[in-house]
Amino acid sequence: MKYKKTLAAVIAFSIAGMNFLPLPALAKDKKNKVIKSQISQTQIDYVNMPWWETFNDEHLNDYLDRAIRNNYDLKIATLRIEQYRQLEKMQLSSELPTVSGGFAPAGLKLPGQTNTSGMWAFPLMVHYEADIFLKNRDKTRAAKKDWEKAKIEERAAFITIASAVGTTYFNIIRADKLIELQKDIIKDRKQIYDLMSERNKAGLTSTADVVRANKAYVSAQADLLDLEKSRSTLLNALAVLIGESPANSESLPRASYEDSYLVKVPDSISSEIIDQRPDYLAAEISVEKAGIDTRAAKKEFLPSINLIGLISFSSSALNTAFNWSNVLGFLGASAMFDLFTGGRKVTNLKLKKNQYEQVLQNYYKTNLTAIQEVNDSLVSLKQDDEKYKTNLDVYKLEQEDFKYSTHKYDEGLISYLDLLQRRENLLTINKLVVSNKLDCNIDYIGLYKATGAKLQ
């Protein structure tokens, strides 16, 4: 019975032989899954869905929702937050004591003797670095800044993906309409070429005119192929953005050009909106972290104060190992200076100061770049809106002119060839209007991204 109790104690101390570190996150990983099947309201708020709903396009809203849930870049950004959270907890463990326990049997034979003796030992050791200078606390604060920055970068990733979805979607709508108009141009140029050929046979048109008509017809077909290639590429890109296979990208639904929303151009953008941009906030946190890293590098010159405790049950007989009379105890403290490190600490401090200056300069640059991007986006939107209105007026005038040309043709004043050539001009101008209108929508999305999704 006595040996059974002793054996049970041996097994218990053997299990305790591992190092126990305070890492609560590792114990929770099985319960708290990192990959979420449902997105949070915070992630939805990142993209400012009410702003996207102003386009009044259910297909676009659906693609944005699917991208938020399924885009792999966004999943990686979310996983990176968990990565930095665990790193912060790992650093936090350095502020807490470590406990080690185990089982250490030993045998001993002295010189000149034939007999041997054995020793049964069960040591338990506690080590703690007293953080009175807050060196480890500063390192934990720095790790927490990395975690905060990762959360801001996640928001930036959501805004970037949402902008990419919107831009790609409107480029597809543009491609659809341009392909439709290009097919009409090809149809007209085919008729022009056929009429030119008939007139050439009758001796009314030169062969050079026929060749030019054929060249225009073939060129229009080549332009159609380029537009179709561009649309296929855009559809594949949209499929990947929403986390689906490009194999079925051609079947992705979208609104028609006629139903596409025409944006309202804001007169100005408040400069305060720049303070909410993710890159600006991330740069600000980087400055704070660099400052903490520099302070921690200075504290490396201070002594390390360690507390060590040891208790060990030792006996030559296993059944008496846990008697109090066989206990070995030790408690000590130390304050240790590094007398010579080859200049490592000095170099590290200079390095951290240099990195702080770099991060600070990047912060200033980010501020200026943010102002530039907002201004550039607003100017592009205003100019493209003006270009759209101008070309729309030209298109309306061209429509009136074509209407008069149709009357002239009905009255026999011009030929059908002349009418076809003027209709081609109308189609060409219409292509410009289509591109300008969709440019405005894309510029509006660019302004949304430049303002950090805070555009109202």
Model confidence pLDDT, tens digit, residues 59-73: 999 999 999 999 999
Structural domain includes residue 396: yes
Collapsing DSSP states into helix, strand and coil, what is residue 121? strand
Q: Report the pLDDT value the prediction gives residue 237, as an integer from 0 to 100.
A: 96
- CATH number of domain containing 83: 1.20.1600.10
153-192 pLDDT tens trace: 999 999 999 999 999 999 999 999 999 999 999 999 999 9
pLDDT tops 70 at residue 195: yes
Q: Report the pLDDT value the prediction gives residue 21, as an integer from 0 to 100.
A: 39
Q: Report the pLDDT value the prediction gives residue 336, as an integer from 0 to 100.
A: 86
Residue 60: alpha-carbon gap to chain centroid: 20
Q: Residue 176 belongs to what domain range?
A: 2-110+118-253+266-450
329-380 pLDDT tens trace: 888 888 888 888 889 999 999 999 999 999 999 999 999 999 999 999 999 9
Q: Report the pLDDT value the prediction gives residue 317, as an integer from 0 to 100.
A: 66
- For 40, counting Cβ atoms within 10 Å of its Cβ (0-12 exposed, 13-18 middle, 19+ buried), the class is exposed
Structural domain includes residue 259: no
109 pLDDT band (50/70/90 cuts)? low
Structural domain includes residue 350: yes
Structural domain includes residue 191: yes
Helical ranges in 301-343 per DSSP H:
none
The CA-based dihedral angle spanning residues 327, 328, 329, 335, taken in that order and rounded to the nearest 10 degrees: -170
Structural domain includes residue 26: yes
CB 277 within 8 A of CB 451: yes
The total number of structural domains that make up the chain: 1
Structural domain includes residue 372: yes
pLDDT tops 90 at residue 120: no
284-326 pLDDT tens trace: 999 999 999 999 999 999 998 998 988 887 776 666 667 777 7
Q: Report the pLDDT value the prediction gives residue 36, as an integer from 0 to 100.
A: 42
Q: How far, in Å, CA of 244 to CA of 133, rounded?
A: 53
Average pLDDT score, the chain: 86
Q: How far, in Å, CA of 48 to CA of 453, rounded?
A: 6
Over range 75-99, report the average pLDDT: 92
Structural domain includes residue 261: no
CB 278 within 8 A of CB 153: yes
Q: How far, in Å, CA of 182 to CA of 231, rounded?
A: 13
Structural domain includes residue 429: yes
